[in-house]
């Protein structure tokens, strides 16, 4: 069974531009949607971190179970992250700006090469376990706490916050940043990159979404 801790580049469609200025974000709500296996999540810390970094008000929905159609069992029970993004978009009311799903269950996507084919070796990348995925720019993101557990509670919570804030950054239109300390740095398939990054955006990224 494939168990390595990997992080996938968050999905980013071809739509140009950034979503919501700083003033607009302060008037908007971001919804947290817990589902599937319940996650050990520091909701108060998540709420304050999202508001501090982006300005959104945060609302937390009741927990939802997921239908079997979201599951894949080729490498143990994993939920399709792309399918969850579509589902979250349907759940999001028009009154909310963004919606972020959180689960304690494992999530995956299919990692492809530049030609659109499954990256080789196919057995490794067809069902590719990930920490989070987001549309960029877009309205939905999803994260899993399955692969980020740590005996140090503060380190675990730090990982949760960084991954959530990173995916929300993609929703707002930010791509991966070349600054290795920036919240938006590409994790390059390792949890160590996330641990070494800051929980804040660099000045360049702040400017991009701050107009």
> Any idea which residues carry the catalytic annotation?
167
Spatial distance between the Cα atoms of 199 and 176, rounded to a whole number of angstroms: 14
Contact between 166 and 200 (Cβ < 8 Å): no
**CA atoms of 64 and 193, how far apart (whole Å):** 31
With contact defined as beta carbons under 8 Å apart, do 143 and 167 qualify? Answer: yes
The edge-to-edge listing of strands for the beta sheet with 128-130 is 71-72, 78-80, 106-109, 128-130
């Amino acid at each position: 069974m494939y168990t390595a801790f990997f992080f996938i580049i968050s999905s980013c469609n071809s739509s140009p531009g950034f979503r919501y200025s700083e003033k607009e974000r302060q008037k908007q709500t971001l919804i947290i949607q817990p589902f599937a296996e319940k996650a050990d999540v520091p909701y108060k810390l998540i709420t304050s971190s999202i508001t501090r970094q982006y300005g959104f008000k945060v609302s937390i929905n009741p927990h939802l179970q997921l239908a079997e159609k979201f599951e894949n069992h080729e490498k143990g029970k994993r939920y399709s992250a792309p399918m969850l993004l579509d589902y979250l978009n349907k759940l999001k009311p028009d009154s909310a700006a963004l919606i972020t799903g959180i689960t304690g269950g494992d999530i995956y996507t299919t990692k492809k090469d530049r030609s659109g084919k499954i990256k080789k070796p196919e057995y490794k990348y067809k069902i590719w376990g990930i920490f989070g995925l987001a549309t960029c720019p877009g309205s939905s993101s999803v994260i899993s706490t399955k692969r980020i557990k740590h005996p140090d509670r503060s380190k675990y919570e730090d990982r949760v916050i960084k991954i959530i804030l990173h995916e929300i950054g993609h929703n707002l239109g930010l791509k991966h940043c070349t600054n290795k300390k920036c919240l938006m740095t590409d994790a390059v398939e390792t949890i160590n990159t996330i641990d070494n990054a800051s929980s804040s955006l660099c000045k360049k990224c702040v400017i991009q979404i701050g107009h």
